[in-house]
């Protein structure tokens, strides 16, 4: 009996020693047993990643429910089902390590392999993983530094890069730079390049408002790659866009496109997926000319494919029948090219199922987070999730649209005082954000309207109570209309130095300006067409979006012969800036550098103050808000800081 007890103690001691050695491994080691992937053993590195002291006995889904939609549990399922090992490199994984619902991004290398029971059947899955987040961050930082250093390479290298990028530039010119911002529907598009060195292909997309208030959504794919395919694509896109703009119905427009293959060399056998959506009621008409069918993404539930219409590729003698469907408010539509289906290691059938599953998870926010509108996630997160496990050999185009409740017009009346300028700009910014306007468009519109309101406040007066009204609405064709009205009469500028600067800038910023001066006041109408930028991507572009920051208040900071300006320089800020410049330059007798890097708004009032001090050295980095305005008004400035 004594010998048996000693043996047991030795075995227990050996197990404890093995567990301690197991826990010293820097890599994550874990074994999942059964179809539910229940944890039967795990070392300290795995427990640290989870942020949980004891995972034994829990299933993978119980431990990490956030992995659903990230394709990791599906990968473990595949190993358990097929016995085929899987290797993943630098997968970006979002984990709830604190149990608070706050997801953290980590990059993981891991290997999955099956283990077997005594009868030779698969019993579970072993996982070996390494957290390489810090290495990835260091490499990304090094790549950024390398990219900056390459700006100073020799002329021969620059010539090579220009030649390499020529085809990509051609693609950018032939594809639309953006998609329209429209009432009742949000649209987004992404184009993922097959290879950064051979960017041009035959894929294209288009989103086009029609005269009757509907919107046409098109994706197409020309046979082949390179400059020839891009040229053919550009011609086909122009033909279809012209027909649809003329009011031709979808069947007629597709037939005209088909006839164009007789004179456009290389157009034969191109495929097209086209849809026409009425945002007001959700009526959808579509045609699949040899193209994969559209994917409908309901507001709640799983994505589903619409039936193909039976039309063949262009130039093959087929007709172009159409089919109809209806999208409810909240429903989305995804058009795509077959590059997302024809990926290495996947059959088209497997990819078709996977695409619907991924889009469903992305739309519900169960994949890589909920940043951005659903249409943006459908066209970016979907790409990242679909290609990171398999890679891709062809260009991929995604075009998404979602029916939404139209944003009501903006109407506000404010006192004709200087405080009205910031009130209007703030309300307009919120309204434009609700519309889904791009940051650049929002900046342009806010700046232009701010100039008009400034004119009304500073140059108009009346015996009646002073007030300024602002009305803004988005038209069905994507044109934004803003009307600013006052009830005053024109008042000359006492100084005579700022007359016309504001209206001149406004005309340069927006598409059209109309001014109506009458006895009862002045009305200024602005028109500007809004677009959301389309994304031309490579696989190196996937990453976390920057976190938006609150706009700073106006501020001034002096340091000897240097003045740093932050925040919005509008009519109110301009007065403070004028006093600071007079004090800092000692009445114009001392040189002064003005750093405008952190300026978020530079109105004509601020421009006038800077113009009135010609001896200033102005610093505004390329691409900054101030630099855009200074270039517009031809005010000399430096884009590099002489202090550095």
- Tens digits of residue pLDDT in 483-517: 999 887 666 555 554 555 777 888 888 999 999 88
Residue, of 90 and 216, whose pLDDT is higher: 216
pLDDT above 50: residue 548: no
The CATH label, of 1.20.810.10, 3.30.565.10, 3.30.110.70, 3.90.79.10, for the domain at 410-533 is 3.30.565.10
Count Cβ atoms within 10 A of the Cβ of residue 362 and give its class: 0-12 exposed, 13-18 middle, 19 or more buried. buried
As a whole number of Å, the end-to-end CA separation of the chain is 83
Mean pLDDT on 316-328: 91
pLDDT above 70: residue 2: no
What pLDDT, on a 0 to 100 scale, did the predictor assign at position 461? 62
Q: What are the residues facing 332 on neighbouring strands?
A: 297, 402
Q: Which helix (H) or strand (E) holds 171?
A: helix 155-174
What pLDDT, on a 0 to 100 scale, did the predictor assign at position 421? 84
What pLDDT, on a 0 to 100 scale, did the predictor assign at position 285? 98
What pLDDT, on a 0 to 100 scale, did the predictor assign at position 512? 93
The pLDDT tens digits of the residues spanning 114-173 come to 999 888 899 999 999 999 999 989 888 887 777 666 665 555 455 545 544 555 555 556
Distance between CA atoms of residues 643 and 161, nearest Å:
32
> For the chain, which residues make up each domain, given as ranges?
13-136, 167-403, 410-533, 549-632
Identify which of 544, 483, 468 has the alpha carbon closest to the alpha carbon of residue 513. Answer: 483
CA 409 to chain CA centroid, nearest Å: 25
CATH topology for 549-632 is Transcription Regulator spoIIAA (3.30.750)
pLDDT above 70: residue 289: yes
pLDDT above 90: residue 471: yes
The pLDDT tens digits of the residues spanning 12-55 come to 456 676 677 778 888 889 999 999 999 999 998 888 888 877 88
Query: Looking at 125-139, 387-401, 620-634, which range is the least confident one?
Result: 620-634
For 126, phi and psi rounded to 5 degrees?
A: -90, 140
pLDDT above 60: residue 315: yes
Three-state secondary structure call for residue 129 = strand
Q: Is beta strand 479-486 parallel, antiparallel or unpaired with respect to 467-474?
A: antiparallel
CATH topology for 167-403 is Phosphatase 2c; domain 1 (3.60.40)
Count Cβ atoms within 10 A of the Cβ of residue 20 and give its class: 0-12 exposed, 13-18 middle, 19 or more buried. exposed
The pLDDT tens digits of the residues spanning 76-106 come to 999 999 999 999 888 999 988 877 888 889 9
Query: Looking at 133-142, 253-262, 606-615, which range is the least confident one?
Result: 606-615
CATH code reported for the domain at 13-136: 3.30.450.20
pLDDT above 50: residue 197: no
Place of tokens 């290879």: 195
């Amino acid at each position: 009996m004594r010998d048996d007890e000693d043996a047991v103690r030795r075995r227990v001691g050996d197990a404890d020693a093995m567990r301690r050695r197991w826990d010293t491994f820097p890599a994550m080691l874990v074994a999942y047993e059964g179809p539910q992937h229940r944890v039967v053993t795990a070392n300290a590195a795995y427990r640290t990643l989870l942020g949980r002291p004891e995972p034994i006995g829990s299933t993978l889904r119980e431990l990490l429910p956030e992995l659903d939609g990230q394709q990791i549990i599906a990968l473990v399922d595949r190993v358990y089902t097929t016995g085929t090992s899987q290797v993943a490199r630098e997968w970006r994984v979002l984990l709830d390590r604190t149990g608070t619902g706050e997801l953290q991004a980590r990059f993981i290398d891991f290997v999955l392999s099956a283990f077997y029971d005594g009868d030779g059947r698969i019993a579970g899955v072993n996982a070996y993983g390494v957290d390489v987040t810090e290495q990835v961050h260091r490499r990304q930082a090094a790549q950024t530094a390398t990219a900056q250093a390459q700006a100073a390479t020799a002329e021969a290298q620059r010539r090579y890069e220009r030649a390499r990028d020529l085809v990509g530039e051609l693609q950018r010119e032939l594809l639309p730079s953006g998609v329209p911002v429209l009432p009742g529907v949000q649209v987004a598009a992404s184009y993922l390049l097959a290879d950064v060195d051979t960017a041009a292909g035959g894929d294209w997309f288009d989103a086009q408002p029609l005269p009757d208030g509907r919107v046409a959504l098109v994706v197409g794919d020309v046979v082949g790659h390179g400059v020839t395919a891009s040229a053919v694509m550009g011609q086909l896109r122009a033909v279809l866009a012209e027909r649809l703009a003329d009011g031709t119905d979808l069947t007629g427009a597709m037939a005209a496109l088909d006839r164009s293959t007789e004179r456009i060399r290389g157009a034969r056998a191109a495929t097209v997926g086209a849809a026409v959506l009425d945002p007001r009621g959700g009526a959808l008409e579509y045609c699949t000319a040899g193209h994969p069918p559209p994917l409908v993404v309901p507001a709640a539930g799983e994505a589903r494919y619409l039936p193909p219409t039976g039309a063949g590729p262009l130039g093959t003698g087929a007709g172009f029948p159409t089919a109809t469907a209806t999208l409810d408010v909240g429903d989305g539509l995804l058009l795509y090219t077959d590059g997302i289906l024809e990926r290495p290691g996947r059959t088209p059938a497997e990819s078709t199922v996977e695409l619907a599953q991924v889009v469903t998870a992305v739309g519900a926010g169960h994949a890589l987070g909920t940043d951005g509108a659903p249409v943006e996630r459908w066209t970016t997160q979907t790409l990242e999730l679909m290609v990171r496990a398999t890679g891709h050999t062809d260009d991929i185009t995604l075009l998404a649209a979602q029916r939404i409740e139209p944003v009501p017009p903006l109407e506000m009346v404010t006192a004709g005082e200087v405080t009205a300028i910031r009130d209007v700009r703030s309300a307009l910014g919120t309204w434009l954000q609700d519309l889904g306007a791009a940051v650049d468009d929002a900046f342009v519109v806010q700046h232009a309207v701010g100039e008009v309101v400034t004119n009304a406040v500073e140059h108009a007066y009346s015996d009646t109570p002073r007030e300024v009204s602002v009305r803004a609405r988005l038209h069905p064709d994507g044109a934004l209309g803003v009307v600013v009205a006052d009830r005053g009469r024109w008042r000359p500028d006492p100084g005579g130095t700022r007359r016309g600067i504001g209206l001149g800038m406004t005309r340069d910023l927006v598409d059209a300006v109309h001014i109506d001066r009458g006895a009862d006041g002045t009305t200024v109408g602005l028109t500007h067409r809004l677009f959301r930028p389309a994304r031309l991507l490579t696989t190196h572009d996937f990453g976390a979006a920057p976190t938006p920051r609150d706009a700073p208040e106006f501020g001034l900071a002096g340091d000897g012969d240097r003045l740093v300006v932050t925040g919005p320089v509008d009519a109110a800020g301009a007065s403070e800036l004028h006093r600071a410049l007079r004090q800092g330059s000692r009445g114009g007798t001392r040189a002064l550098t003005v750093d405008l890097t952190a300026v978020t708004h530079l109105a004509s009032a601020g421009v006038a103050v800077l113009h009135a001090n010609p001896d200033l050295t102005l610093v505004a980095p390329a691409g900054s808000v101030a630099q855009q305005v200074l270039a517009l008004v031809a005010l000399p400035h430096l884009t590099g800081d002489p202090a550095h």
